[in-house]
């Protein structure tokens, strides 16, 4: 969050000077997400695991929601594509909140 109204005071050679500052602290993502990819009979799959969510989550792959209101970790994304590819995942608490995880990328 951003903190306003903080005053910094310095004194040197008997002279005192004060100034107001604004401090911004970027907290780490409240939900920690890990992802691992593997193939079954040549078809891509990704296992997602997370901690820190207070309820159900929506799962996003490459910015698009692929699953809603998932209550159990881990979750398997059956991509079911062959060959190579790269997918970036994120989970966010359901209900339109902005509480989301870090991005986790799986590359085949």
Q: What is the pLDDT along the chain (108 residues), one digit of tens a residue?
A: 556 666 666 777 778 777 776 666 655 568 999 999 999 999 999 999 999 998 999 999 999 999 999 999 999 999 999 999 999 999 999 988 889 999 999 999
State which H helix or E strand residue 47 sits in. strand 43-51
The pLDDT value recorded for residue 3 is 62
pLDDT, position 98: 87
b vs e for 48-58, b when ≥16 Cβ sit within 10 Å of the residue's Cβ?
Answer: bebeebeeebb
Does the model's pTM come out above 0.75? no
**Burial degree of 28 (CB within 10 A; 0-12, 13-18, 19+):** exposed
Residue 4: its pLDDT value, please? 63
């Amino acid at each position: 969050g951003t903190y306003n109204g903080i005053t910094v005071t310095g004194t040197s050679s008997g002279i005192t000077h004060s100034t107001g500052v604004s401090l911004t602290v970027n907290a780490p993502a409240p939900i920690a997400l890990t992802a691992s990819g593997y193939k079954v009979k040549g078809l891509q799959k990704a296992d997602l695991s997370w901690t820190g969510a207070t309820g159900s989550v929506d799962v996003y792959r490459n910015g698009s929601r692929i699953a809603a209101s998932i209550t159990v970790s881990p979750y398997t994304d059956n991509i079911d594509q062959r060959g190579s590819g790269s997918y970036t995942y994120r989970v966010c608490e359901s209900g339109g909140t902005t509480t989301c995880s870090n991005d986790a990328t799986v590359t085949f």
